[in-house]
Homo-oligomer: A and B are copies of this chain.
């Protein structure tokens, strides 16, 4: 299975996901930006704005290659001479505070010494955590994982709890999901199966989000809920700019800034030392932003 084949599968996945998301949104269409990377490769960034469901979102494909740079050696611990990387990344910020923010990434990496690995994940960031809805999301992920390996869900769920965590806030970003990295043939799956797993996650992404969106997008909203949504977006910005290894690596290594930062919301808010009512929905949400909750 060549890297070109994997890249073409990723590109096709991006198209399928965007088509489904446009159907789900019902109003807005993706605009498309092709870009070329000077050192080798390029990508297509698709952006949706001011939809009925999605206020701002992006679905990015890239396939890049070139010499392993000093920063890649240092930050990723790589030792080859040439790398190739391809994948699809998504972040969607909805209008309605009762609909969660969602993120997905599936990626493939190889070095010219023949080593390769897959990574990826899907995680959900509700502005208001509702345990029954979190359960539905995790059940959906588990049923995909279980098709490939009986250990995947619990292993990758814990990995997501650890990865999507904001130490300086002592909060998880949301209710987690799954996260995995460096999956090689030693994972128990062949290269073909690992690609199939990634594509399966991608092809279920829009339905998983639609399920969550339907439960919230028609709910009435108050100005206070919008304020809270914007404060939670502030935390999302903090995670992405301070903690997310992918974002930091992308910015430091001279990636395409606009494609990397398409993950940021249309707007975000900050308030000094916000205090919440103990029994409020907002405080209940904070109480659920911690590692180790078994949602299923």
Contacts and interface: CB of A to CB of B under 8 A. Distances in A.
Interface in A22-63: 33, 45, 47, 49, 56, 58
Interface string A218-230: 0000000000001
Interface string A236-279: 01100110000010010000011011101111111111000000
Contacts of A234: 264
Nearest to A267: B269
A45 B272 CA distance: 10
Contacts of A273: 33, 47, 258
Nearest to A265: B270
Contacts of A266: 269-271
Nearest to A237: B237
A268 to B, nearest CB: 6
A17 B265 CA distance: 35
A74 interface: no
A169 interface: yes
Q: Could you say which interface size class chain A belongs to?
A: 20 to 34
A47 B272 contact: yes
A147 interface: no
A169 B255 CA distance: 11
A136 to B, nearest CB: 30
Contacts of A260: 168
B268 A268 contact: yes
Interface in A167-191: 167-169
A95 to B, nearest CB: 15
Nearest to A274: B258
A88 to B, nearest CB: 17
Contacts of A45: 272
Contact of A258 (B49, B248, B257, B272): B272
Which 5 interchain pairs have the tightest Cβ spacing? A241-B241, A264-B270, A168-B251, A267-B269, A168-B257
21 contacts: A33-B273, A47-B272, A47-B273, A58-B272, A168-B251, A168-B260, A169-B257, A230-B267, A237-B241, A237-B268, A238-B241, A241-B242, A242-B242, A242-B248, A242-B251, A258-B272, A261-B270, A266-B271, A267-B267, A267-B270, A268-B269
